């Protein structure tokens, strides 16, 4: 067996064991692209090896998806196919684990009418409410991982041939998810623990707000919730199953107060939104709401995100990632949020996390909104961290403590 095949098998085992923590007799819904068919087969085999009751595989093809967006009329996207919603909702009700293998071409949807993408994300969110609700209530195991595919790989490594680029992207993925350590399962257990001390410190400080500064011009104060919680490193369902929603993961995050962000923030990395790039952009906030935005590339895409609903103009996430994180240090720009968000401090427009609020998983969306957790059909991460980012934590009495200095943890 070649080294790559061995690593792929180790990766598949890691995904099913640590990512999904699949239980014997549990069902698995696996979503993948036709570009990663072979890896999807390995993951399916591994799931059965670990006792899956049944693995349902949902394949999508990016080029066919693009054809839908090119040819279907706008109103088609307002009605989400019933059978697709039924698949997600019924599997959620049965307690299946949801695994997505992503391998997106960063430019798959360039030039597509943004309003169609907006309608699609709105209608899918509405139709899949029971599934979304199960996630918000902490009942479901869900996990997003990546597989190398030619279009994505060549966007990351344009100087290489398709085959070389795919090989190199696989190596970068293996290293980001610790597959090339002696015992990846143990490495992830250790990884989970390493977050605990920092989360505990942040949770014990009860900061009222954070002040972000960067050399790009960022000068933003983000207000936090009094009952806010910092999360990160791994997740656990309400019934006690430990899992990792994202592999890789390097972030510690919370949901800020939806009404309290003031100032301006500059992006530090390009954002690829549904296959359309947005570059060098800034957002100005007043009373938690975006009041102005400007992008050198992709202004229309940025405005489309902000137009999804009223929650899309407010913050749902604030995440801390040190500049010396392994993904940042790899020097690779992945053009994919799963990786790039783990290389940089970031914020997200849209939906907040119920588990970032004390007792939040027992509250409805409207109740969460009333206490400061943002409600939206979307959640879009964008990177703001730089080598010189400073973050100061400010207590309710005005007392200040450094959290980040020169891009890294200050404590
Ligand atoms: Zn994040």
CA of 195 to the centre of ligand 1 (A): 14
Q: Which of 205-209, 257-261, 329-333 has the lowest mean pLDDT?
A: 329-333
CA of 48 to the centre of ligand 1 (A): 31
Task: Indicate if the pLDDT at residue 172 is higher than 90.
Answer: yes
Tokens of 272: 């690829």
Q: Say how far apart CA 244 and CA 223 lie, in whole Å.
A: 27
CA of 2 to the centre of ligand 1 (A): 35
Please report where in the chains the tokens 């995050």 appear, as a residue. Answer: 253
Task: Indicate if the pLDDT at residue 33 is higher than 90.
Answer: yes
CA of 222 to the centre of ligand 1 (A): 15
Q: H-type helices in 61-212, by residue range?
A: 62-71, 82-93, 114-127, 129-136, 150-156, 162-176, 184-205
Tokens of 116: 């169609």
CA of 1 to the centre of ligand 1 (A): 37
Q: Which contiguous run of DSSP H or E holds residue 399?
A: none
Task: Indicate if the pLDDT at residue 275 is higher than 90.
Answer: no
b or e along 316-355 (b: 16 or more beta carbons within 10 Å of the residue's beta carbon)?
bbbbbbbbebebbeeebebbbbbbbbbbbbbbbbbbbbbb
Mean pLDDT, residues 40-63: 98
CA of 251 to the centre of ligand 1 (A): 6
CA of 178 to the centre of ligand 1 (A): 19
DSSP string computed for 253-296? EE---TT-EEEEEE-SS-EEETTEEEEEEEEEEETTEEEEEEEE
Task: Indicate if the pLDDT at residue 1 is higher than 90.
Answer: no
Q: Which contiguous run of DSSP H or E holds residue 221?
A: strand 219-223
Task: Indicate if the pLDDT at residue 274 is higher than 90.
Answer: no
Q: What is the pLDDT of residue 102?
A: 97
* Digit-coded pLDDT (tens) for 228-254: 999 998 999 999 999 999 999 999 999
Q: Which contiguous run of DSSP H or E holds residue 142?
A: strand 142-146
CA of 200 to the centre of ligand 1 (A): 18
CA of 341 to the centre of ligand 1 (A): 6
Task: Indicate if the pLDDT at residue 71 is higher than 90.
Answer: yes
CA of 60 to the centre of ligand 1 (A): 25
Q: What is the pLDDT of residue 233?
A: 87
CA of 233 to the centre of ligand 1 (A): 11
* Digit-coded pLDDT (tens) for 114-155: 899 999 999 999 999 999 999 989 999 999 999 999 999 999
Q: Which contiguous run of DSSP H or E holds residue 59?
A: strand 54-60
What DSSP designation does 11 have?
H
Q: Is the peptide bond before 248 cis (omega within 30 degrees of 0)?
A: yes
| Pairing of β 97-102 and β 142-146 | parallel
**Percent of the chain with pLDDT strictly greater than 90:** 95
- Helices then strands, counting H and E runs in the chain, come out as 13, 20
Tokens of 392: 């100061």
Q: What is the pLDDT of residue 411?
A: 86
CA of 319 to the centre of ligand 1 (A): 5
Tokens of 78: 């307002």
CA of 348 to the centre of ligand 1 (A): 7
Mean pLDDT, residues 257-273: 96
Task: Indicate if the pLDDT at residue 47 is higher than 90.
Answer: yes
CA of 294 to the centre of ligand 1 (A): 22
């Amino acid at each position: 067996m070649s080294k790559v095949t061995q690593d792929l098998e180790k990766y598949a085992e890691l995904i099913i064991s640590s990512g999904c923590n699949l239980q014997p007799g549990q069902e698995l819904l696996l979503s993948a692209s036709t570009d990663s068919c072979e890896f999807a087969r390995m993951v399916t085999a591994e799931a059965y090896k670990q006792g899956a009751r049944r693995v349902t595989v949902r394949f999508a093809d990016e080029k066919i998806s693009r054809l839908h967006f090119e040819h279907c009329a706008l109103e088609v996207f307002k009605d989400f196919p019933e059978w697709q919603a039924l698949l997600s909702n019924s599997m959620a009700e049965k307690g299946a684990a949801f695994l997505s293998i992503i391998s997106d071409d960063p430019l798959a949807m360039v030039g597509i009418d943004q309003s169609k993408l907006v309608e699609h994300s709105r209608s899918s969110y509405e139709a899949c409410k029971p599934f979304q609700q199960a996630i918000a209530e902490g009942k479901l195991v869900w996990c997003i991982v990546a597989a190398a595919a030619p279009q994505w790989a060549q966007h990351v490594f344009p100087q290489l041939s398709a085959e070389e680029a795919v090989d190199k992207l696989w190596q970068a993925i293996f290293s980001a998810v610790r597959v090339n350590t002696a015992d990846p399962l143990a490495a992830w257990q250790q990884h989970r623990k390493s977050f605990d001390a920092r989360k505990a410190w942040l949770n014990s400080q009860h900061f009222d707000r954070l002040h972000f500064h960067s050399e790009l011009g960022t000068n933003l104060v983000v207000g936090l919730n009094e009952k806010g919680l910092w999360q990160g490193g791994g997740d656990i369902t309400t019934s006690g199953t430990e899992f990792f929603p994202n592999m890789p993961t390097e972030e510690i995050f919370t949901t800020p107060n939806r009404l309290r962000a003031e100032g301006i923030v500059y992006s530090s990395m390009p954002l690829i939104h549904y296959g359309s790039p947005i570059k060098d952009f800034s957002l100005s906030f007043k009373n938690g709401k975006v009041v102005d935005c400007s992008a050198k590339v992709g202004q229309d895409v940025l405005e489309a995100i902000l137009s999804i609903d009223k929650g899309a103009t407010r913050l749902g996430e604030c995440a801390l990632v040190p500049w010396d994180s392994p993904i940042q240090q790899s020097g690779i720009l992945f053009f994919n949020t799963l990786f790039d968000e783990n290389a940089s401090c970031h914020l997200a427009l849209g939906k907040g996390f119920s588990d970032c609020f004390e007792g939040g998983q027992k509250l409805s969306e409207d109740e969460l909104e009333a206490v400061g957790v943002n409600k939206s059909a979307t959640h879009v991460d964008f990177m703001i961290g730089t080598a010189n980012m400073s973050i100061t934590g400010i207590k309710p009495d005005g007392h200040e403590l450094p959290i980040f200095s020169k891009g890294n943890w200050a404590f």
